[in-house]
Structure formats: structure tokens, C-alpha cells
């Protein structure tokens, strides 16, 4: 379970450009829940993810992960339990290292990075199997540098790498936004399979309303730092894209977009 | 013949330095100017120890450790103090000038009468008479290869993987629940350790410690790395570390040949112009590669 309690976030505090994004923001995500988050630009979606992961600090409030207060914990420490996939496919992999080396790196998460051999030969078959599961033919390219792969292939690898070791939370930050529609569909399907299979508590920020409606068991819409729509369970199943789009247009007009 | 041996000797010694610069410049993507201070640091430590009668072979690990410390300082300034990479190196380089003087005592310490790793009874007994004129070259060659092989092996370990990852994509290292700052510090430590080791060997080969021997060391290192990696880009069988060593020898050869037709005053000018030419050529090649793609 992940809880945000009374989070406040100001940008440029103490200057003329001070902007209050969150003021006493609360959100609770149940264990095993797959949450989709939609909202316009500047509504606080990505800031929320950054606050959860510790990439940016919050001015006040508490973040509890499985009941444990992690508000003061450093980003890299929190990441022990979190997997994150970014919008930019380049963020989740190392371009100058081979597929095999990238998989080995990810496989060692949570353990010591000492002077042992970088690639465990006994694990290569496992990596092959995992890669073939993606259906992109990457299992035959183990010695190819990741920088030579397409954006979709890299994003698929990033997804695989971030969920390879036992984690509890998966954070998806518009992870299909930089991909072509077909590849985006593929990545989305893979994501759903991984989330279901590993029973991960997942937060997915997306601009694709169809994905938000089709996938996940809870949907929230954010606007100016608050949650203006929150549907879960059967209510969520009944939500249609049109309904979300109508609401989305309403708040957009309000903003003058 | 002597001309070539000197080039090889100097090229290989600076090759060890170039391996260090390879770590910072190519792997960490960190323009580390500490090198100009950590190279003479190794030499100063060596001079101080040898003149006090220490076994010359022990100066090798001690000089390495001294460089490691310098690298850690640069890393701490950059990571914990959040000072920009270039400035962190400049600060350490400047501080090391005085530190080196303190360690060595003066700006110039001759080592003519002392034993060195190249000249002592043990080594004379070990190397056959026929090869004795090449003792220095053989030892330097072995030492350089050992450094290269250890570095190659290290880069294949888990820790080495993490080091390569941090220069490539620091965000990924954070995602792997590791502190990227510590990994950078580790890289700077190893790199400056190698540079300082090169300084140690250099002082024993030249049989003198000179405070100004580090001036422009970073340029030599960078030139070697850039020559090596861009010249052998297509040769996949050759490891980058080997390419860097060959680059260092080529660079020393270029400077030596140029110096034959100019006065010694011209040395730094030649160094700078050669470096510029190498940079321009390697950029031209990059453009071509892009145009082809």
C-alpha cells in the first residue's frame, strides 16, 4: 500500500513566480492496485510520481510505503522496492552496453555490485526466455548494443529490466507517449501482462485516455493538483472513453486551452 | 634505435595515464583536470619515498593509493559539494601543486644515485645480459599490460558494469537502487590512481621529480584516448583499452618527430597544435559517419 498524506509542493518558493501545485494532497493506493492517472499538462501527474520516487522533495506531508514512512529516504534507496519506466526509452537502458550486459545489470538489483563476474552465465538462458517473451526477436541479439535498438525495443527492455527483480511498485511515467501507435499498443499489452503476473502495485500516468479506461482497476483524473475524478471497481469498468474525454474537455476549456 | 625505444617507453608510461583518462573521459563522461596534479603526485610520493630509502617496488602501490585519495577528493567536491565537474578538477589540480611540493620538499628532486624499479641488483640478476639495455622498456611494457588487463577484467565485473552504466545513463543506476554519486567517486578514484601510478613510473624512468611534469598531462591523456578510440573504432577485436595504449604511443611518436625539427621551447605549442589537429580530424570523421547513416 502506498499513501500520500497532506503533501504540499511549491515551485520557486519565495519568489514572484511562486506556484503552489499541491496543497494537502492525499492519495491512497491499495496493494496490488493498478491505477491509471490522466490529466492535462501541469496538473501534477509527473510531480506526484517524482514525489513518490523521491526525485523531488515535497515541502510538507508524509509518504508511507507499506506503512513505513519513506518521506526522508533518498531516491536511490526507495528504488529498491520501486521499478520505474520513463517516457523517454533512453532512460531505462544503457546504450553503450549490450543487451546481455543490460539484463545482467538489472538482474543484480538489490544485491551487491562487487567484483564478481558481471554476467552470470547460468542466467543467460533465463534472459533469453524473458526476452523471447517480448516477441521482438531480442533473444537472438544478446551481444548487440542497446543503443542500436529502436525506441520500442528499448522501451520493452526497460519494462523488462525494471520488473526483473522482486519489486512492489511499478511507476509508469507516460511510458508509451514516445512510441508509434502500434508499438505503444504492444508495450501496453506487455505492461498489463507483467503487472498481472507479478501482482505489482502500479501507477500509470498516461495521456492516452483509451489506455487509462481499458487497463487498470482504478482511474483518477487530476487537475491543478487535485483529484477531480476517482473511479474504482465496477464503477471503473463502466467508465467510457467519451465520458472521460468530456470531463477532460471541460477542465481544459476552464484553463483556456 | 634509441629514439624508438624512448618513444615506446614514454608512450607506454603515458599509456597508463591514458587508461585513467579513458575511465573519466570516455566511461564517466567527466572532464577530469585533477590529472595535471595527480600525475606529479605519484612522482612526488615516489621521490619522497625513494630518497628515504624505501624499496622502489613498494612505491608503485603507494603512488596508486595516493592517486586514489586525490580522485576521491575530486569526487567528493563534485558529488557532495555539487561543484561542477570541470571546476572540481581545477580545484584539486591547484591544491595538489602545493601538496606535491610539500611531499617532495622542493620543486626538483634528482634520483640519480638511488635504486629505482629499473635499476637495482635484483632486476639485474633477473634479466639476461643480452636484454639488459632493454630492461626499462620490458618492465614498462609488463607494467602497462598488467594495468590494462586488470582494468579490462574490472570492467567485466558487476562493479565495472555499474561504472560503465553511470556515465552512460546515471538515471538507470539510481533505478538500480545504487547511489550514482558513490559510483562516480569510485571511477575518479581508480582513474587518478592509474594516473598517479604513471607519474611514479615516469619519475623513476627519468630519475627526477619535477613539479611541472604534470602541466599538460591531461592534454596528453585526452589526445591518446581520442587517437586510440577514433583510429581503431572499426576494429572490433581490439579492446578500447588496447586502442588507448596504442594511441598514447602514436601521440608520443608524433610529438617526438615534430620536436626533431623544432627547438625544445616549441614542445607545448606542438603538443597543443597536435591535439587540435587530432580533435578536428576525429570530429570530421564523426560528421562523415553521421552523413553516411
**pLDDT tens for residues B248-286?**
999 999 888 888 888 888 888 888 888 898 888 887 766
Which has the closest alpha carbon to B163: B142, B141, B178?
B178
Give the pLDDT score at B291: 55
Cβ separation of B175 and A105 shorter than 8 Å?
A: no
Q: What is the pLDDT of residues B123-132, one digit of tens each?
A: 888 888 888 8
Inform me whether the C-beta atom of residue B185 falls under 8 Å from chain A C-beta atoms: no
Residue range B176-205: average pLDDT? 97
Confidence (pTM): 0.91
User: CA of B164 to nearest chain A CA: how many angstroms apart?
Assistant: 8
Q: Which of A80, A115, A119 sits opposite B177 (nearest CB)?
A: A80
Q: List alpha helices for chain B, DSSP H.
A: 2-21, 35-51, 56-79, 85-104, 121-126, 135-155, 158-168, 170-175, 180-206, 217-231, 240-260, 267-292
Q: In terms of pLDDT, which residue wins out, A111 or A254?
A: A111
Q: What is the pLDDT of residues A146-161, one digit of tens each?
A: 999 999 999 999 999 9
Cβ separation of B156 and A94 shorter than 8 Å?
A: no
Residue range B97-115: average pLDDT? 95
- Ranges of each domain in chain B: 2-213
User: CA of A92 to nearest chain B CA: how many angstroms apart?
Assistant: 6
Instruction: With beta carbons less than 8 A apart as the criterion, state whether A109 and A165 touch.
Output: yes
Inform me whether the C-beta atom of residue A106 falls under 8 Å from chain B C-beta atoms: yes
pLDDT(B101) > 90: yes
Cell 545504487 found at: B178
Cβ separation of B161 and A79 shorter than 8 Å?
A: no
Instruction: With beta carbons less than 8 A apart as the criterion, state whether B100 and B211 touch.
Output: yes
What cell does A18 get? Answer: 511562486
User: CA of B221 to nearest chain A CA: how many angstroms apart?
Assistant: 22
Give the pLDDT score at B293: 45
Q: Calculate what percentage of chain B has a pLDDT beyond 70.
A: 97
pLDDT(B1) > 80: no
Cβ separation of B177 and A95 shorter than 8 Å?
A: no
Chain B from 90 to 109: CB within 8 A of any A CB? none
Give the pLDDT score at A173: 93
What ipTM goes with this model?
A: 0.89
pLDDT(A216) > 90: no
Contacts of A76 in chain B (CB under 8 A): 173-174, 177-180
Instruction: With beta carbons less than 8 A apart as the criterion, state whether B170 and B10 touch.
Output: no
Q: What is the pLDDT of residues B12-61, one digit of tens each?
A: 999 999 999 999 999 999 999 999 999 999 999 999 999 999 999 999 99
Give the pLDDT score at A87: 92
Q: What is the pLDDT of residues B156-168, one digit of tens each?
A: 999 999 999 999 9
For A146, which residue in chain B has the nearest alpha carbon? B168
Percentages helix, strand, coil for chain A (3-state, rounded to 5) are 40, 25, 35
Residue range A109-119: average pLDDT? 92
Interface with A, mutate which of B175, B229, B239 (most A CBs under 10 A): B175
Residue range B62-70: average pLDDT? 98
Cell 505492461 found at: A191
The mean of the pLDDT values for chain A is: 90
**Sign of the CA dihedral with A171 first, then A176, A179, and A185 last:** positive
Contacts of A77 in chain B (CB under 8 A): 177
Amino acid at each position: 500500500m502506498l499513501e500520500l498524506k497532506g503533501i504540499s509542493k511549491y515551485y520557486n518558493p519565495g519568489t514572484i513566480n511562486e506556484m503552489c501545485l499541491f496543497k494537502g494532497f492525499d492519495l491512497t493506493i491499495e496493494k496490488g492496485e493498478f491505477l491509471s492517472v490522466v490529466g492535462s499538462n501541469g496538473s501534477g501527474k509527473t510531480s506526484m510520481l517524482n514525489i513518490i520516487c523521491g526525485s523531488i522533495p515535497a515541502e510538507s506531508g508524509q509518504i508511507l510505503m507499506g506503512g513505513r514512512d519513506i518521506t526522508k529516504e533518498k531516491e536511490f534507496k526507495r528504488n529498491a522496492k520501486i521499478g520505474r519506466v520513463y517516457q523517454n526509452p533512453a532512460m531505462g537502458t544503457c546504450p553503450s552496453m549490450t543487451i546481455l550486459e543490460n539484463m545482467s545489470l538489472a538482474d543484480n538489483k538489490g544485491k551487491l555490485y562487487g567484483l564478481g563476474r558481471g554476467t552470470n552465465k547460468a542466467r543467460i538462458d533465463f534472459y533469453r526466455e524473458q526476452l523471447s517473451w517480448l516477441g521482438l526477436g531480442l533473444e537472438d541479439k544478446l551481444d548487440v548494443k542497446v543503443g542500436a535498438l529502436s525506441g520500442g525495443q528499448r522501451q520493452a527492455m526497460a519494462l523488462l529490466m525494471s520488473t526483473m527483480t522482486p519489486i512492489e511498485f511499478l511507476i509508469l511515467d507516460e511510458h508509451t507517449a514516445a512510441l508509434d501507435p502500434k508499438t505503444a499498443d504492444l508495450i501496453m499489452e506487455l505492461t498489463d501482462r507483467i503487472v498481472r503476473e507479478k501482482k505489482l502495485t502500479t501507477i500509470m500516468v498516461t495521456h492516452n485516455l483509451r489506455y487509462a479506461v481499458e487497463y487498470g482497476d482504478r482511474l483518477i483524473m487530476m487537475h491543478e493538483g487535485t483529484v477531480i475524478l476517482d473511479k474504482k471497481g465496477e464503477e471503473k469498468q463502466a467508465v467510457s472513453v467519451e465520458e472521460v474525454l468530456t470531463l477532460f474537455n471541460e477542465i481544459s476549456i476552464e484553463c483556456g486551452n | 634505435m634509441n629514439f624508438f625505444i624512448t618513444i615506446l617507453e614514454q608512450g607506454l608510461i603515458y599509456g597508463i595515464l591514458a587508461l585513467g583518462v579513458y575511465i573519466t573521459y570516455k566511461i564517466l563522461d567527466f572532464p577530469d583536470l585533477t590529472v595535471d596534479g595527480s600525475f606529479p603526485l605519484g612522482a612526488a610520493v615516489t621521490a619522497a619515498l625513494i630518497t628515504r630509502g624505501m624499496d622502489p617496488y613498494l612505491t608503485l602501490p603507494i603512488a596508486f593509493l595516493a592517486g586514489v585519495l586525490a580522485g576521491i577528493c575530486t569526487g567528493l567536491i563534485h558529488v557532495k559539494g555539487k561543484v561542477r565537474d570541470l571546476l572540481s578538477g581545477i580545484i584539486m589540480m591547484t591544491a595538489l601543486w602545493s601538496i606535491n611540493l610539500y611531499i617532495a620538499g622542493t620543486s626538483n628532486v634528482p634520483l640519480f644515485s638511488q635504486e629505482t624499479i629499473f635499476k637495482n641488483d635484483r632486476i639485474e640478476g633477473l634479466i639476461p645480459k643480452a636484454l639488459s639495455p632493454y630492461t626499462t622498456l620490458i618492465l614498462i611494457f609488463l607494467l602497462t599490460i598488467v594495468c590494462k588487463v586488470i582494468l579490462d577484467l574490472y570492467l567485466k565485473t558487476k562493479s565495472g558494469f555499474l561504472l560503465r552504466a553511470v556515465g552512460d545513463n546515471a538515471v538507470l543506476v539510481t533505478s538500480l537502487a545504487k547511489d550514482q554519486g558513490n559510483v562516480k567517486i569510485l571511477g575518479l578514484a581508480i582513474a587518478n590512481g592509474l594516473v598517479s601510478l604513471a607519474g611514479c613510473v615516469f619519475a623513476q624512468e627519468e630519475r627526477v621529480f619535477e613539479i611541472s611534469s604534470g602541466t599538460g598531462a591531461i592534454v596528453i591523456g585526452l589526445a591518446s584516448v581520442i587517437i586510440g578510440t577514433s583510429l581503431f573504432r572499426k576494429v572490433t577485436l581490439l579492446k578500447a583499452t588496447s586502442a588507448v595504449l596504442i594511441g598514447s604511443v602514436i601521440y608520443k611518436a608524433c610529438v617526438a618527430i615534430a620536436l626533431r625539427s623544432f627547438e625544445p621551447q616549441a614542445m607545448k605549442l606542438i603538443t597543443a597544435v597536435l591535439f587540435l589537429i587530432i580533435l578536428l580530424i576525429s570530429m570530421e570523421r564523426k560528421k562523415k559517419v553521421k552523413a553516411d547513416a
